[in-house]
Amino acid sequence: MIYKEYYVIFRIKFTFAESRGEIDMILMDLRDILRDILGSYRVQFLLLRQRCTVSEASALDFSFRDQLYESFDYSAFASAIMALVPEDNVIDYKDDFGLHYLVFRGRDMAEEAFAFCGPFTYHAFNETDWERLIEKHGLQDDSMDAIRWYFKRIPVIQDYLSWQHMFTSLLARYLANPDLQIKPVSYDRPSTAKQKPAISLSTIPYTSVEARYQVEDAMLDAIRRGDISEAIYQQNLFMGFQLDQRLPDALRDAKDMIISVNTAYRKAIQQAAVHPLYIDAISGQFITEIENTENEEQLIALIPIMIRHYCLLVQQHSLERYSGPVRGCLNYIDFHYMEPLNLESLAARLAINKNYLSTRFHKEVGMTVTDYINRTRVRRAEALLGKTALPMQAIAEQCGFSDANYFTRTFKKVNGVSPNDYRKSLTAHPLPTA
């Protein structure tokens, strides 16, 4: 169902794309959508250039081989895979640990890069599989914990045919190859890298926790920036880490975990200088929804909703880019627009010179203090006009205008139409009174 929905989007975009610039945008959209789909499966999407560093390439397997081998050459590992990729096709690369990657050449990068979708597996590994890997690679017995911890975070693709069909359809458009087929490539020889003399069991949980915190930090940074797509992608990767249950009651344990997540989201948008009143309102709402859930599936479904709401709050109310005085002025206007306001009273409240405030405000916001006050009041009036049948005088008073005539003149100046015409344009149905 997912790939069918995106197919319609792609077909429309290609139908109307005429210039090179539009085609470049389509390629970017395809890649972004592909990345979002992978995120929903908890599968990593990684772009690597041909001359990538060891540190960049180590992201391929989340630095797993670093736990097993001395100075593993990730650059050579990545380059060897890239050399197998055809110009306009895709390989399903299976490495020596049974991990799969869909790999193809990027088409929208200034410098040629390769996209790696993985690692993932097509079946859940168990103790027998891990014992075979240890025997195959000649690893020490204490490597078992490293392997067990690692495979806990690797997503399993259960429906092989749907997976292959979905990506054949998507990538055929991305690579402009209607005959595209995903070619299986298997590398079954163990690594010749020197093994570490011992695997310290105490470092295995630490390595896993460290990786988890890196993903969590990336997710919270995306929320702080209001980037919905990136935040959901990173959250999906984070869900790949299997956390130990801490309480006997599984549902209570899951609720406590999501409450902690909600707190982390709050802190993230607080760093974006969103006013605490906005944060507290949405946080309290989600706490109630968390407690009202009846099973773990409902909790998991709530996470992307929370991310979207917190990111939208950042997009709409972040004052991070403003200086302290301007930020204080904006916040006060937003929450006291119904009161008598002007430059002098705001400057006095903030204990700063009115000329200094006027200059800073206009430079940072792009309009005068008076214009911002009027725009804020008009936005509130728009909401009342759309949701209520209140008379103009009542709306004017609730929005801080001294009289209905001044309200009408200001509204028309901002929107180009009168409040009455605006209300008529919204709906022909009768509205409820407040």
Does the residue 68 lie in any domain?
yes
Residues 114 and 263 occupy one common structural domain = no
Residue 200 has pLDDT above 60, yes or no: no
Whole-number Å distance between alpha carbons of 311 and 277: 16
Residues 25 and 173 occupy one common structural domain = yes
Segment 7-16 shows an average pLDDT of: 36
Report for 66-70, 120-124, 188-192: range of highest mean pLDDT: 120-124
Residues 187 and 106 occupy one common structural domain = yes
Q: Count structural domains, the chain.
A: 3
Does the residue 326 lie in any domain?
no
Q: Which long-range contacts (CB under 8 A, 24 or more apart) does 341-347 make?
A: 341/373, 341/400, 342/369, 342/370, 342/373, 343/369, 343/370
Residues 231 and 182 occupy one common structural domain = no
Residue 237 has pLDDT above 60, yes or no: yes
Task: Look at residue 41 in the predicted model and tell me its pLDDT.
Answer: 87
Residues 40 and 153 occupy one common structural domain = yes
Q: Mind listing the pLDDT tens digit for each residue in 39-92?
A: 888 899 999 998 899 989 998 998 888 888 888 999 999 999 999 999 889 999
Residues 29 and 174 occupy one common structural domain = yes
Task: Look at residue 208 in the predicted model and tell me its pLDDT.
Answer: 57
Beta bridge partners of 93: 101, 185
Residues 160 and 220 occupy one common structural domain = no
pTM (2 decimals)? 0.62
User: In what order do the strands lie in the sheet containing 100-105?
Assistant: 45-49, 113-120, 100-105, 90-94, 182-186
Segment 32-45 shows an average pLDDT of: 86
Q: Nearest 5°: CA angle at 378, between 372 and 382? A: 145
Does the residue 323 lie in any domain?
no
Task: Look at residue 109 in the predicted model and tell me its pLDDT.
Answer: 52
Does the residue 394 lie in any domain?
yes
Tokens representing 257?
A: 């975990």
Q: Mind listing the pLDDT tens digit for each residue in 354-409?
A: 999 999 999 999 999 999 999 999 999 998 998 888 999 999 999 999 888 999 99
Which of 152, 182, 201 delimits the end of a domain? Answer: 201
Task: Look at residue 111 in the predicted model and tell me its pLDDT.
Answer: 56
Does the residue 253 lie in any domain?
yes
Residue 13 has pLDDT above 80, yes or no: no
Residue 104 has pLDDT above 80, yes or no: yes
Does the residue 402 lie in any domain?
yes
Does the residue 409 lie in any domain?
yes
Residue 427 has pLDDT above 90, yes or no: no
| pLDDT tier at 198, thresholds 50, 70, 90 | low
Residues 125 and 216 occupy one common structural domain = no
Residues 142 and 226 occupy one common structural domain = no
| Residue % of the chain over a pLDDT of 90 | 48
* Residue-number span of the structural domain to which 374 is assigned: 334-426
Counted residue by residue, the chain has a size of 434
User: What does DSSP say about strands 90-94 and 182-186: parallel, antiparallel, or unpaired?
Assistant: parallel
Does the residue 322 lie in any domain?
no
Neighbours of 281 (CB within 10 A): 11
Task: Look at residue 348 in the predicted model and tell me its pLDDT.
Answer: 93
Segment 306-325 shows an average pLDDT of: 92
Residue 266 has pLDDT above 90, yes or no: yes
Neighbours of 402 (CB within 10 A): 10
Task: Look at residue 242 in the predicted model and tell me its pLDDT.
Answer: 63
Residues 413 and 312 occupy one common structural domain = no
Residue 256 has pLDDT above 70, yes or no: yes
DSSP code, position 142: G
Residues 227 and 134 occupy one common structural domain = no
Which of 182, 201, 220 delimits the end of a domain? Answer: 201
Per the prediction, the chain carries an average pLDDT of 84
**CATH number for the domain harbouring residue 341:** 1.10.10.60
Q: Mind listing the pLDDT tens digit for each residue in 147-164?
A: 888 888 899 998 999 999
Calculate the CA 44 to chain-centre distance.
13
Who contacts 378 (Cβ-Cβ below 8 Å, separation ≥6)? 399, 410, 411, 414, 415
Task: Look at residue 253 in the predicted model and tell me its pLDDT.
Answer: 87
Task: Look at residue 144 in the predicted model and tell me its pLDDT.
Answer: 83
Residues 196 and 309 occupy one common structural domain = no
